[in-house]
Amino acid sequence: MLKKFPFRIFALLLIGALMGYFWTLKIVPPAQEVSGYMPACLIIGDVHQAFALDSMETFTPVELNYKGEYFQGIPLADLVQHAEPVTAEFELLLIGQDGLSAQFNGDKLEGCHLTFTVKNGWEAINLNHPVSSNIKRLEKIIVMAQEPVPEYGVNLITPTQNLRTLMPGRIYRQAMTTIPYFEGTSTVTQAEGEYSVSVYSRRTMFPLQDLLPEITVEKLIAMGREGEYAYIDAEGFLELNEKENAFHYVSGHREGEIKNLAGIIINPPARSITDLFHDTLYYLDHGENVLILYLDGFGYHQYLHAKEAGYAPFMAALPAAEPALAVYQPVTNAGFAAMITGKTPAENGVYSRAQKDLKVPSIFGVAQEHGKKAALIEGHIKILNTEIEPALNIDLNKDGLTDDEIFASAKTALEQDYDLLLVHFHSIDDLGHSNGDLHENTLKQIQVVDEYVQELVTNWNGKVFILSDHGMHATEEAGNHGVFRYEDLIIPYIVAQGGQS
């Protein structure tokens, strides 16, 4: 104690000295210093990093002379750059508190600045543009992409068509209604009687009915960017939430909101990728062995095309594949997890490439609990952490693919009396990425895999499922997946019987 006491005094003296020092450093306030409430100006729309501008300090203002007056202005180009527009070409829409707006091209931002005064709030001072673009009391700056970007917007699709992409910036080109949305009623009882208040929030909502095509809508499934997956009804709304710069689905009868929508599929197929878990368990429990042939990156449209064009003679001779719905995000981790858990990404915890751990048991753990012997034959990387360790296969002969090695391991496994065997082939996905979904090189690889499938199916005693985790779509360069579009989300689901046919 004796030692601590002088130290405390010393510390207090030091703090006092420092406070005095900083006091003398206090900067003289600028003429336009703002105190109290400073409204924010939102920079939102088709950007990766929407933000609220609520201080002059975040950016480096420049000294400007406008009509003989000096002021500090933040270059508009700096603000827009900071928000990271999703496309190189875009337009800007400046909206003032009174609704007055100005729209101009995003590639002509030299001379455009934002300043703040108590009188006019955030104000655009555009030295080169017509003076009508100088919006006072600016509330928001909307970045509107020149082209829709499906990766970024909310996509409306059917199992065979990509219909449209709604973007939080581009949507400002169309009429928008802000509707009072009833949030609830509360009542208090006072001596004088009861006092009630109904609370509403003002929300920008688009009736889903207005966005749907003129086809008979039987079912709708909405998927969120974090793996939410739910049947929704057409009486609902899409809400544009400006603070979150995202679209939410809001149900017509108040329960079931889906945050940050990736898309909605109209009349989805009856089958889902999650059926695999339940179908597998059903057959195992009925004493049948199950072989799962997981052909990575093999979309339903590729299956149809390969079958038609003669690149998959063996699979063509099997019972026809049913189209099945995969999950968002249509990438390997999420598709694989949905397949082996029977649960949606939100439930099993794997909704993108970033997650590896399952929150629920997989078919391997459940099979083992039921006394079954299970194996997983993989490529060179372990994709998910499951109850069993995968048998990994590296590219021994250095031909650029691991499927030949995977096939050899699978043939060995056929001799080992597994009740459940899952073989994960990768080459259709590899060739799809480097060539395109329907490119001849990809189709030729489908043919190679078709031969592997033939050998394994004919030598298997039991049930066989052939399916994929996601599909593949054509890009300008080659092929890719991970987007809410039918080519990525609809996969083939084949149920067959093993053995010589």
Cα gap 345→262, rounded to integer Å? 13
Please report where in the chains the tokens 């003002």 appear, as a residue.
202
Which one, 336 or 407, has the nearer CB to Zn ion? 336
Q: Which of residues 130-159 bind Zn ion (CB under 5 A)?
A: none
**Dihedral sign for Cα atoms in the order 353, 355, 357, 360:** negative
Q: 112-117 and 177-190: which strand pairing?
A: unpaired
Which one, 296 or 378, has the nearer CB to Zn ion? 296
Full strand arrangement of the beta sheet holding 374-377: 271-272, 322-325, 490-497, 463-467, 290-295, 420-425, 374-377
> Looking only at Cα atoms, what is the longest distance across the chain?
93
Residue among 271, 275, 274 at smallest CA distance from 320? 271
Q: Looking at 4-12, 239-247, 297-305, 485-493, which segment touches Zn ion (CB under 5 A)?
A: 297-305
For residue 200, the Cα-to-chain-centroid distance in whole angstroms is 30
Binding flag, residue 429, Zn ion (CB under 5 A): yes
Which one, 108 or 353, has the nearer CB to Zn ion? 353
Which one, 248 or 426, has the nearer CB to Zn ion? 426
What are the start-end ranges of the H helices in 107-175? Answer: none
Which one, 176 or 381, has the nearer CB to Zn ion? 381
By beta carbon distance, the residue nearest Zn ion is 332
Q: Looking at 8-16, 228-236, 359-367, 428-436, which segment touches Zn ion (CB under 5 A)?
A: 428-436
Which one, 11 or 381, has the nearer CB to Zn ion? 381
Q: Quick count: other Cβ atoms within 10 Å of Cβ 295?
A: 28
In 3-state terms, the chain is what percent helix, strand and coil (to 5)?
25, 30, 40
Q: Least Å distance between CB 465 and Zn ion? A: 16
Give me the 435-474 binding string for Zn ion, x by CB under 5 A, dash otherwise: ----------------------------------x-----
Q: Is the peptide bond before 146 cis (omega within 30 degrees of 0)?
A: no
Tell me how far CA of residue 57 lies from CA of 34, 61, 115, in angstroms.
12, 8, 11
| Through-space distance between the first and last CA atoms of the chain, rounded to whole angstroms | 90
Q: Least Å distance between CB 383 and Zn ion? A: 9
Q: Least Å distance between CB 447 and Zn ion? A: 19
Query: Are the beta carbons of 263 and 155 closer than 8 angstroms?
Result: yes
Query: Are the beta carbons of 461 and 289 closer than 8 angstroms?
Result: yes
Among 302, 332, 344, 427, binds Zn ion (CB under 5 A): 332
Q: Least Å distance between CB 336 and Zn ion? A: 7
Q: Least Å distance between CB 469 and Zn ion? A: 4
Which one, 61 or 432, has the nearer CB to Zn ion? 432
- Site size toward Zn ion (CB under 5 A) is 5
Q: Least Å distance between CB 489 and Zn ion? A: 13
Among 123, 296, 403, 437, binds Zn ion (CB under 5 A): 296
Q: Looking at 20-28, 169-177, 244-252, 288-296, which segment touches Zn ion (CB under 5 A)?
A: 288-296
Q: Could you list the residues that contact Zn ion (CB under 5 A)?
A: 296-297, 332, 429, 469
